[in-house]
Each structure stands twice: as structure tokens, then as C-alpha cells.
């Protein structure tokens, strides 16, 4: 396996060269991101593409200049980043929670794009006892060393579930008996209205666009954080902490 000689925060993440990336995938490494040079071909590259289809790994077609910025070495038109965590499947986690007598509290992050927000959210979620974080495979911040550092290591502890069909995954949560509480400004109801003592998936949206409309429409509850100042929005990691700890407050009251 070939690694670049860039700063330490990246050096254990990058793999480049067609054969090196092929072997990384075959060895079971979690691919965080994969970039292919536009317009290249060849039998070895076709082998890699077949492998990407087999393992359902999404690759981004990029100009060679982007790859050259990632590494000055002979990348052969292929650069991949290995995830520092092992992703899990929410379909395996939910039944375990119920079997253990727990009441699921799941955090769904709809395309959070800033790695530091991702890390800060994971830190709060782990402290709050959230059972798992669900993210989309596309359009979400990379779980990289910056995210790990910001999370204070929480991303090593809390299960993170990354799914290609994000909408279907949210539907699975609902069909499994979890209420969907969507944190959005598109409602008059506040975050104190839902009963979080029930099995719950709290949905937070991206920094720019919020929660996508399709998920808003399928949610059981829409909830917003009351705002009284002149600034109209909170950082998403702060907002996540507020709604999570309302859920924890309610659950603690039930325990007595």
C-alpha cells in the first residue's frame, strides 16, 4: 500500500495508484472518498471500476489537477481516502436496542458538510447517550482526522451508519417504530412539544439548506428552537445539543 508524504493529519488516510486502491478495497478498508481522473481508461482501471460496483463504492470523476493537488506522486489517476472508523448498518443496531430493553434515540444528519460540525455533533451525541448516528453516503462531511479530533474521540465510540439510499433508511427507522422528529424552522411548533420518551429519531439538516423537503413531509413531528435575538439561526452543532438534551431531560424525568 502506498501513502503520500503530506502532513501527518492526512498521511494515514490517503491511498493512491490503481493497484494500491484495489488492494485496499479487497482487504476490507472503508473508503471515505475516491477520486478518478476524467478520461482515463485501461484494463486495470476497469478492474477497479468492477470492484467499485461490487462493493457499492461511489467515485467522483475529477480533473487531473485536483489529483495533483492531493499528491505530487504517481497516482495513476486514482486517489482514495480510507475512513478512520468502521461504518455500521442501522438495520443491525435497532433490533439490538429493542432486544436489550432500550428505547432507541437515533440522530439522523441530513448532509452535514463541515467536518468540525460533524465532530462536535458526534461529541455531544456520545455524551447524551445517543445510540447511533445516521448519515448519507453522498453529500456528507468526511469522517477524517479533523472530525475525529473535534469529536474528542467520540467518533470512535458512537456507531456511525452511512447509507446510500438515505430516504429509504429514514423510512426504515419509521417502520421500525421510531417517531421522526425533524428540527426545522418550517413549523410553528417548538422542540418541547414532542414526547421524546418514545423511540425517536431526531433529524438535523445541513448548514445551508436544512432538512430536505422529502424528509420533512414524512416526519411525524416538526420542531423548531425558539429564537428571541436578532440573529435568526444557530450553528447546527449547537442546535443539535439543545434538542438532544431536551430529549434527555424528558427521559430523565420518566426514570424519576
pLDDT tens-digit series, residues 76-85 = 999 999 988 9
What is the Cα–Cα distance from 168 to 42, expressed in whole angstroms? 36
For residue 112, the model assigns a pLDDT of 94
The whole-model pTM stands at: 0.84
Domain 90-255 has CATH 3.30.70.1450: no
- In a 3-state reduction of DSSP, which class is residue 161? strand
Of residues 138, 166, 159, the one with CA closest to residue 34:
138
Buried residues in 237-248 as b, exposed as e (16+ CB within 10 A):
bebbbebbebbb
pLDDT tens-digit series, residues 14-71 = 999 999 999 999 988 888 889 999 988 888 889 999 999 998 888 999 999 999 999 9
For the residues of 7-48, what is the DSSP string, one character each? -HHHHTTEEESHHHHHHHHHTTPPEEEEEEETT---HHHHHH
Choice between 3 and 117, residue whose per-residue pLDDT is larger: 117
Q: What is the DSSP letter of 59?
A: -
pLDDT tens-digit series, residues 146-185 = 899 999 999 999 999 999 899 999 999 999 999 999 999 9
For residue 8, the model assigns a pLDDT of 34
- In a 3-state reduction of DSSP, which class is residue 183? strand
- Asked if the model's pLDDT at residue 224 lies above 50, the reply is yes
- Asked if the model's pLDDT at residue 12 lies above 70, the reply is no
One fold for 8-82 and 90-255: no
**Residue with C-alpha cell 433529524?**
203
The mean of the pLDDT values for the chain is: 90
User: Residue 209 — pLDDT band, cuts 50, 70, 90?
Assistant: confident
Q: What is the DSSP letter of 224?
A: B
- Domain range annotation of the chain: 8-82, 90-255
pLDDT tens-digit series, residues 88-132 = 999 999 999 999 999 999 999 998 999 999 999 999 999 999 999
Pairing of strands 78-82, 31-37: antiparallel
For residue 198, the model assigns a pLDDT of 98
User: Residue 138 — pLDDT band, cuts 50, 70, 90?
Assistant: confident
Give the class (CATH, top level) of 8-82: alpha beta
What is the Cα–Cα distance from 122 to 152, expressed in whole angstroms? 9
**Helices marked H in the chain — which ranges?**
8-11, 18-26, 43-55, 64-70, 90-99, 115-128, 145-150, 166-175, 213-218, 236-255
Amino acid at each position: 500500500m502506498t501513502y503520500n508524504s503530506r502532513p501527518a493529519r492526512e498521511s494515514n488516510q490517503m491511498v493512491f495508484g490503481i493497484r494500491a486502491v484495489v488492494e485496499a478495497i479487497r482487504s476490507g478498508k472503508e473508503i471515505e472518498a475516491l477520486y478518478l481522473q476524467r478520461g482515463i481508461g485501461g484494463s486495470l482501471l476497469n478492474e477497479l471500476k468492477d470492484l467499485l460496483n461490487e462493493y457499492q463504492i461511489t467515485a467522483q470523476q475529477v480533473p487531473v489537477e485536483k489529483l495533483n493537488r492531493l499528491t505530487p506522486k504517481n497516482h495513476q489517476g486514482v486517489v482514495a481516502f480510507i475512513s478512520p472508523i468502521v461504518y455500521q448498518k442501522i438495520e443491525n443496531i435497532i433490533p439490538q436496542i429493542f432486544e436489550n430493553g432500550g428505547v432507541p434515540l437515533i440522530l439522523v444528519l441530513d448532509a452535514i458538510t463541515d467536518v468540525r460540525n460533524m465532530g462536535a455533533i458526534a461529541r455531544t451525541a456520545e455524551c447524551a447517550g445517543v445510540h447511533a448516528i445516521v448519515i448519507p453516503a453522498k453529500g456528507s462531511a468526511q469522517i477524517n482526522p479533523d472530525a475525529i479530533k473535534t469529536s474528542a474521540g467520540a467518533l470512535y465510540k458512537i456507531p456511525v451508519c452511512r447509507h446510500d439510499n438515505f430516504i429509504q433508511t429514514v423510512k426504515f427507522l419509521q417502520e421500525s417504530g421510531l417517531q421522526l422528529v425533524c428540527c426545522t424552522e418550517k413549523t410553528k411548533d417548538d422542540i418541547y412539544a414532542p414526547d421524546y420518551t418514545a423511540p425517536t429519531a431526531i433529524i438535523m439538516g445541513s448548514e445551508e439548506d436544512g432538512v430536505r423537503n422529502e424528509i420533512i413531509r414524512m416526519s411525524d413531528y416538526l420542531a423548531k428552537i425558539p429564537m428571541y435575538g436578532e440573529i435568526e439561526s444557530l450553528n447546527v452543532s449547537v442546535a443539535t445539543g439543545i434538542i438532544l438534551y431536551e430529549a434527555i431531560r424528558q427521559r430523565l424525568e420518566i426514570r424519576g
